[in-house]
Amino acid sequence: MVDYSKKIAIKKIKKLDDGSQVSIGGWAEHLVHKGKICFLTVRDSSGKIQVTGIKTKLPEEIWDALIGLKNETIVWITGKVKKNEQAPGGIEILPEEVSILNPVQGPVPVDITGRTPMDDGTVFAFREMTIRMPKNKYPFEVKTYVAQATREFFLKREYVELFSPLMVATATEGGATLFPIKFFEKDAFLAQSGQFYKQAAITAHEKVFGIIPSFRMEKSRTRKHVAEFWQIEVEAAFNDHISIMQVLDDMMVYVVNTTIKTAKEPLAALGAKPKKLKGGFPRIPFQEAKELCTGFELEEKVNFEDDFTSPEEAALSRHFKTPFFITEWPTHTRGIYYRVNDENPAISNSFDLVAPDGFAELCTGGQRVHEYDKMVEVIKNQGFSLESYDWYLNLFKYGIPPHAGYGLGIERLVWWLCGLSNIRQAIMFPRTPDILKP
């Protein structure tokens, strides 16, 4: 009978004295059998260790169990710790008991050890298997620390965490990227963001945040686009685009610097060396950023009216050595809920936050419309039915304060911190136009 309470994480074994008895549970990753000796690599979520079996020192049934193990078999091994400079990590286990908790049903379809090169197509086709590989799982551990630091930051500032609906009746970011679904007999959609619900929540709590999934039906196959992603969603009453930018600035400094400290092991294992942030990020108006782009070597001419192209964004990102804000975006480039600047109606009180070193946009935010008549006009101009937005309009009809907020892609932040090649690597099971399973 296995006593699971005695399981010790492999990474903790290095701290034990020579001769200590331990029990480990994990995956039989790789077996080398040479005559009367065998070397088994066992992996658990914390690391790997060598189990060394010597035929002359083991009962026959234990020896036979060891040399018969197939890759990814679930094993439980009890034995003695032995310091050995020739063993990986300078330590090994001499087994005394070996139990097979779950045998595999055939050859594993991919090489979990990483010895065999694997292209992205294979990685994501067998994602349920390849997430076991250390280099693939570490970004998810970093994401855990990012989420923890995010919650710490906002709870210290007395924000309330929001858990918003994922099935909605209307568009929040425009109608072109909506995923339609059936809600019993009614037509509905997967939420593009938690925007409308954040705005409702501030009438009760004033300051809210959430780590919330978003769904966009965009047939983009770039390194930065997926159809499902999670955002750090923030909204605060009695704020404008200037004050909420400072909240974002402070949040980035806290979350990044805290994660660098708490996620040392997975970041080091990835070879990632993110730099601590000092805050006070540069703020550059949209038109000035476009003007900067004219000085870069770009294949296409810079269009001062359109959003930044990917090459423009990458060139700007390489120009700055720290995250930076792009402000004063043209109104036609923004969502329906952004407030038009009082002094210049051609621009909105909005911003993007872009990461440096040739990366990409991390976040979009700004001040929202809060006047009832202006929101009615915005909805009409978008061609939407006022009736469809009746509950949302009630917020503006019956007292919503001036407010501002933002949405920051948590996977983009993890992608940047870990130095990954694309956003899919920051998502355990990504969804793209080409990936629906696993």
Domain map (residue ranges) of the chain: 4-102, 127-426
Neighbours of 434 (CB within 10 A): 10
DSSP state of 277: P
Residue 112 near residue 225, CB atoms below 8 Å: no
Strand, helix or coil for residue 10? helix
Residue 237 near residue 207, CB atoms below 8 Å: yes
Decide if 4-102 and 127-426 have a common fold: no
For residue 345, give every residue at least 6 positions away whose Cβ sits within 8 Å of its Cβ, in sequence order, or none.
Answer: 331
CATH of 127-426, one of 3.90.230.10, 3.30.930.10, 3.90.1170.50, 3.40.50.300: 3.30.930.10
Distance CA 251, CA 277 (A): 11
Distance CA 309, CA 401 (A): 35
- Residue the block writes with tokens 């660098």: 260
Q: What is the pTM of this model?
A: 0.93
What would the pLDDT profile of 14-58 be if each residue is shown by its tens digit? 999 999 999 999 999 999 999 999 999 999 999 999 999 999 999
Q: State in Å, rounded, how far the first CA of the chain is from the last one.
A: 34
Distance CA 102, CA 112 (A): 17
Residue 271 main-chain phi, psi, to 5 deg: 75, 15
Say what the alpha-carbon torsion angle 229, 142, 140, 272 is, to the nearest 10 degrees: 100
Alpha carbon 206 to chain centroid, angstroms: 27
DSSP state of 263: T
Q: Which pLDDT band, with edges at 50, 70 and 90, does 383 fall under?
A: confident
Strand, helix or coil for residue 103? coil
> How much of the chain exceeds pLDDT 70, in percent?
99
Angle value at C-alpha 411, between 268 and 157, nearest 5 degrees = 95
Residue 231 near residue 431, CB atoms below 8 Å: no
- If phi over 0 gives left and psi between -120 and 50 gives alpha, with beta otherwise, what is residue 419? left
Residue 405 near residue 235, CB atoms below 8 Å: yes
**CATH no. of 4-102:** 2.40.50.140
Q: What is the pLDDT of residue 334?
A: 85
Q: Which pLDDT band, with edges at 50, 70 and 90, does 221 fall under?
A: confident
DSSP state of 379: H
Q: What is the pLDDT of residue 233?
A: 98
Residue 265 main-chain phi, psi, to 5 deg: -65, -55
Which tokens in the block code for residue 264?
A: 């040392």
Residue 95 main-chain phi, psi, to 5 deg: -75, 145
Q: Which pLDDT band, with edges at 50, 70 and 90, does 272 fall under?
A: very high
- In which order are the strands placed within the sheet that holds 186-190? 167-168, 186-190, 179-183
Distance CA 231, CA 41 (A): 38
* Whether the predicted pLDDT of 358 surpasses 90: no
Q: What is the pLDDT of residue 174?
A: 61
* Whether the predicted pLDDT of 200 surpasses 90: yes
For 209, the enclosing helix (H) or strand (E) is: strand 207-215
* Whether the predicted pLDDT of 418 surpasses 90: yes
For 162, the enclosing helix (H) or strand (E) is: none
> How much of the chain exceeds pLDDT 90, in percent?
87
Give the sign of the dihedral formed by CA 315, CA 319, CA 321, CA 327: negative
Lowest mean pLDDT among 209-218, 343-352, 375-384: 375-384
Distance CA 420, CA 424 (A): 9
- If phi over 0 gives left and psi between -120 and 50 gives alpha, with beta otherwise, what is residue 269? alpha
Give the sign of the dihedral formed by CA 258, CA 262, CA 266, CA 271: positive
- If phi over 0 gives left and psi between -120 and 50 gives alpha, with beta otherwise, what is residue 47? left
Nearest to 409 by CA among 230, 221, 173: 230
